[in-house]
Structure 1
Amino acid sequence: MMSTIPVSSEVVRVGIAQGNVVRAPQRISTTGLGSCVGLVLYDEGQKLAGLVHIMLPSAPRENVTNVCKYADTGTDWLVSELTAQGVSLASIRAKMAGGAQMFAATGQASEVMRVGPRNVEAVREALARHGIPLFGSDVGGNAGRTIEFDVRTETMSVRTALSGTYCF
């Protein structure tokens, strides 16, 4: 988890269960989105964007040591980071990718194994709680993804092994 705006690298990488904020002309990316969700929040006017790599839907009630790991606390953290940089909550937009169903599941264990779909649902709920519109998503399926967000163009590129690279 990081909270400063880096200035030296053109593409800022975000690791699993981490987050960061960048300003144009920088881009921000993460890899390894299987059941995880990459959530980008951005402000087009200030050319500022943040990315959080979410692993699980909700944080435990106590002793949260890594807020970026969870959809609920990770979204809250990213909103807080952007507003601390002067972004108005009303101007924040969202894009997300990931949330694949990476493991086949049957029987009673199937809900527990639905980590990807549960992550997507939890991110959507957190965005609704903050009143943030979702301007694009590429979620579900059963393939992993790598994403990169270009703050200047507000374009998210998604790369998968099966589908190649595409943007939205």
Structure 2
Amino acid sequence: MAVIKVGIADLNVAVKPDTITTLGLGSCVGVTFYDSSKKIAGLAHVMLPSTELSKAAVLNKAKFADSALPELLRRMVELGAIPRRIQAKMAGGAQMFNFKDPSGQKSIGDRNIEACKVALRKLGIPLVAEDVGGNYGRTIELFTETGILEVRAISKEIKHI
């Protein structure tokens, strides 16, 4: 069994018996996809809500909610996942610093959460569980055997969603 690590603004897939994890979700959102019949999982560490925010000459699809989630779905389908069987879970989107935006705009964490939910609706993938918001970072690990998403945070109880 291998533990597949996903970095910031990165995504990857895993197949039973492997697990897939990402560390240090602050305002970023970790979105997981899971096909329970094929035991195929995917994880995207989404850093920003929209590709419209990209200033790079070459787009990193994994960085943005609107491009990461379709790419994650594509990679899972390549491994044999059936789109109608895929369910999503997500964690993160915290407001790590307590300051007010003078423009009145939502925090980047809130915007990431919202953008991920919009992308999921567009893909027709149901969001079945979430642990989002707050003011603390998280580490998540998805177990391909069961589809359970473990959410860990300093000074918090481990959650299984």
User: How far off its partner does 1:108 sit?
Assistant: 2.0
The 5 Å alignment of 1:2-13 reads: 10-13=2-5
Give unmatched runs, 5+ long, in structure 2: none
Residues 57, 70 of structure 1: 8 Å contact kept: yes
Structure 2 equivalent of residue 55 of structure 1: 47
The 5 Å alignment of 1:137-148 reads: 137-148=130-141
Amino acid at match of 2:29: V
Do structure 1's residue 89 and structure 2's residue 86 form an aligned pair? no
User: How far off its partner does 1:28 sit?
Assistant: 0.3
Distance change >3 Å, CA 107–CA 134, structure 1 → 2: closer
Structure 1 equivalent of residue 145 of structure 2: 152
Q: CA offsets per residue over residues 49-85 of structure 1, 9 Å max, x none?
A: 0101000000128745210000110011101111122
Selected match of 1:34 from 26, 35, 60: 26
Q: CA offsets per residue over residues 8-66 of structure 1, 9 Å max, x none?
A: x5211111011110101100000010000000011000000010100000012874521
Do structure 1's residue 15 and structure 2's residue 7 form an aligned pair? yes
The 5 Å alignment of 1:71-82 reads: 71-82=65-76
Alpha-carbon RMSD across the aligned residues, in angstroms, is 1.6
Give unmatched runs, 5+ long, in structure 1: 1-8
Distance in 2, matches of 1:39 and 1:61, equals 19
TM-score (norm 2): 0.93
Residues 19, 53 of structure 1: 8 Å contact kept: yes
* Structure 1 residue ranges (4+ consecutive) displaced by more than 6 angstroms after TM superposition: none
Distance in 2, matches of 1:67 and 1:144, equals 23
Distance in 2, matches of 1:84 and 1:164, equals 36
Do structure 1's residue 162 and structure 2's residue 155 form an aligned pair? yes
Identity over aligned pairs, percent: 44
How many pairs align? 159
TM-score (norm 1): 0.89
SS at match of 1:135: strand
